[in-house]
Amino acid sequence: MYALVALVGVGAQPWTRFEGQEAGLSAILGRLTGTSWPAVLLSAGAVLSIISVTLVVLYGQSRILYSMGRDGMLPAAFRRVNPSTGTPVFTTLLTGGFVALLAAVFPLDLLADLTSMGTLVAFSVVSLGVLILRRTAPDLERGFRVPGHPVVPLLSILACSYLVYELPLDTYLLFGGWLALALVVYLLYSRRNSRLETTAPGIAVEKARA
């Protein structure tokens, strides 16, 4: 759908005119119809869709933190749920508050670039994981197998790497700082308290002997 919308947009005006446009599709719609209300309606729909996507992302992030807490990667507070609703209230409030603070302090363009970089790097890591697991654990039970291996994962990594390459320098610096913070948390807490670490073969035996 993204590709089709982009194709229609490029067909409606030269691609060079998109540079500097705040809302290219709305501008095209207003120019073609000769009136402003279709563009306003399209913009309103875009705002509502952004709100819904943001809500889903916040919902997902709070559950990711909950899962990390359940796996021992984060402190016990992250895995607590409300006894009546069964929802991780702490992680939900923490995620919402943290995102609100970022939105209040940093410009939207910077946050958008940083979010894009995080998503693209995550996609690349997942694609790389597919390549590694096909070699190291070929008999592992899978709920889904990526078709076209290894072409599809490699194309995914190349496409994501190209988009990351186009991001500005300040995004790289902030992302590097964020990774450094995550590494500190992992080395000081997650590595020692992970359920995978404490239940790995040999480690549990050594702890029992101690």
- Based on the fold, state whether residues 48 and 88 are members of the same structural domain: yes
- Based on the fold, state whether residues 167 and 177 are members of the same structural domain: yes
Separation between Cα atoms, residue 40 and residue 62, nearest integer Å: 33
- Based on the fold, state whether residues 100 and 122 are members of the same structural domain: no
Residue 90 lies in a domain: yes
Residue 17 lies in a domain: no
- Based on the fold, state whether residues 111 and 192 are members of the same structural domain: yes
Separation between Cα atoms, residue 68 and residue 94, nearest integer Å: 14
Separation between Cα atoms, residue 89 and residue 29, nearest integer Å: 43
Could you give the angle at the alpha carbon of 53 between the alpha carbons of 49 and 55, nearest 5°?
Answer: 115
Model pLDDT for residues 136-159, shown as the tens digit of each residue = 998 888 888 889 999 999 999 999
- Based on the fold, state whether residues 89 and 143 are members of the same structural domain: no
Short-list 161, 172, 65, 82, CA closest to 120: 161
Residue ranges making up the domain that contains 170: 107-196
Alpha helices for 106-186 (secondary structure H)? 108-136, 151-165, 169-185
Domain end call among 56, 87, 105 = 105
| Rounded alpha-carbon distances, angstroms, from residue 105 to 28, 59, 63, 100, 169 | 33, 22, 25, 9, 19
Domain end call among 73, 105, 137 = 105
Structure tokens at 193: 């308290």
- Based on the fold, state whether residues 124 and 192 are members of the same structural domain: yes
Model pLDDT for residues 23-68, shown as the tens digit of each residue = 888 888 888 888 888 888 988 988 898 889 889 989 999 999 999 9
- Based on the fold, state whether residues 128 and 138 are members of the same structural domain: yes
- Based on the fold, state whether residues 126 and 162 are members of the same structural domain: yes
Q: How many domains does the chain have?
A: 2
Q: Note every long-range contact of 170-179, with CB atoms under 8 Å and residues 24 or more positions apart, other chains counting.
A: 170/110, 170/113, 171/110, 171/113, 171/114, 171/117, 172/117, 174/110, 174/114, 175/114, 175/117, 175/118, 175/121, 178/114, 178/118
Model pLDDT for residues 186-199, shown as the tens digit of each residue = 999 999 999 876 66
Domain end call among 105, 134, 155 = 105
Model pLDDT for residues 77-93, shown as the tens digit of each residue = 999 999 999 999 999 99
- Based on the fold, state whether residues 68 and 97 are members of the same structural domain: yes
